[in-house]
């Protein structure tokens, strides 16, 4: 393979990696909370890098009892698309 063709493929790979990184940065994350105390479902927007401990802190901060809730992380803010 010639040097110019090799360089072109390297540029394409770099552009693809850059797009993938931008997609990860711009991703939104949500935590769905099923609160058994009130029989309600809540949706909160959170940081994409949030871990389980941060989610539980948010749930407590929003007035829910972690012991009486179920929650899950999702990239979707709608139940049905």
Q: Is the pLDDT of residue 3 over 70?
A: yes
Task: Please report which confidence band the pLDDT of residue 49 belongs to, taking 50, 70 and 90 as the band edges.
Answer: confident
Q: What residues does each domain of the chain span?
A: 3-74
pTM > 0.95: yes or no? no
* Residue pLDDT, tens place only, 52-79: 899 999 999 999 999 999 999 999 988 8
Which strand ranges, in their side-by-side order, compose the sheet holding 69-74? 40-46, 29-35, 69-74
Helix (H, G, I), strand (E, B) or coil at 77: coil
Burial profile 41-51: b = 16 or more Cβ within 10 angstroms, e = fewer: ebebeeeeebe
């Amino acid at each position: 393979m010639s040097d110019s063709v090799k360089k072109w493929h390297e540029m394409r790979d770099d552009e693809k990696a850059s797009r993938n990184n931008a997609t990860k940065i711009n991703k939104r994350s949500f935590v769905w909370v099923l609160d058994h105390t009130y029989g309600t479902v809540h949706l909160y927007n959170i940081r994409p890098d949030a871990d389980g401990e941060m989610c539980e802190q948010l749930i407590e901060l929003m007035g829910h009892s972690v012991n009486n809730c179920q929650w899950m992380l999702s990239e979707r803010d709608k139940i049905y698309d």
